[in-house]
Chain A
Amino acid sequence: DQQVKQNSPSLSVQEGRISILNCDYTNSMFDYFLWYKKYPAEGPTFLISISSIKDKNEDGRFTVFLNKSAKHLSLHIVPSQPGDSAVYFCAASAGAGNMLTFGGGTRLMVKP
C-alpha cells in the first residue's frame, strides 16, 4: 500500500537553514493532509495540516504547501533548529477525522 509516500528516508540540514520534507500521494479522494513529528518511544505529535481547498498553510516556522495537480505536499521549516531533529510523517485522509494513511517517514537531522 503506497498511497502516501515519502521518498527520502533521511535529510540532514544545517541549523538556521531551511528544511524541506516532501510527500506524494496517489489517492484522489484525499482532501486533508497533516504533518506529524515523532521522537523515539513517543507518539506522533501534530504539527500542521492543510485542506485541499488551500495550497498553503503557515504556522510560525512551519509551512505546508499542497500541489493538488501533482499530488504532492511539502513541509518547510525555516529556520531549522537542532530540536527539530525527529522523524516527520505526512498523513492524509478522505475527509478530516477519517482514518489517516501515513507515509513511511523522513528522519530529519539538524546539525548545530
Chain B
Amino acid sequence: EPEVTQTPSHQVTQMGQEVILRCVPISNHLYFYWYRQILGQKVEFLVSFYNNEISEKSEIFDDQFSVERPDGSNFTLKIRSTKLEDSAMYFCASTLSRQETQYFGPGTRLLVL
C-alpha cells in the first residue's frame, strides 16, 4: 500500500541552525501538509501546499518556516534559524484531492539544543 515517507526519522541540531525536513508524499497526491506535535501537546497544523503554492498556513508558520516542492516527489519544510521551542515531531501528510482523507507519514523527531 502506498505510504508517505519522511526523512530523517530523528534530527538533533543546535539553536540557530537551519534544518530541512523531507517528505515523499504518496505519488499521485496533489495536496501536501505539515503538522507538528510538541511533546505532551496536540497535533497542530502548520501549512498546506497545492499547485506549488501555500494554500493555507497557521500563525505558527512564521517567516522562519518555508516549504518547497523541489521536484516531482519531495516536499520539504525548512526552518531557517531553529529555536528551542521548535523541538517537536513534524508530520507530513498528503491527499489526492480536497475531498479525500489526509494520510500521514511516520514523522521526524526534531530536537533543538
Contact = CB atoms under 8 A, between A and B. Distances in A.
Contacts of A41: 106-107, 109
Nearest to A93: B102
Interface residues of B, number: 28
B4 A100 contact: no
Nearest to A2: B42
A97 B105 contact: no
Contacts of A96: 98-101
A interface, over-half SS: loop
B98 A101 contact: no
B103 A46 contact: yes
A12 interface: no
B82 interface: no
Contact of A42 (B33, B43, B102, B107): B107
A91 B93 CA distance: 14
Contacts of B6: 43
Contacts of A97: 31, 95, 97-100, 102
Contacts of A110: none
B87 to A, nearest CB: 15
A102 B100 contact: no
A49 interface: yes
Contacts of B100: 96-97
Interface of A: 34, 36, 41-46, 49, 89, 91, 95-105
Given A44-B43, A44-B104, A97-B97, 15 more contacts: A36-B104, A42-B107, A43-B106, A46-B101, A46-B102, A49-B101, A95-B98, A96-B98, A97-B95, A97-B99, A98-B48, A99-B58, A102-B43, A104-B42, A105-B42
5 contacts: A43-B107, A97-B31, A97-B102, A99-B33, A100-B33
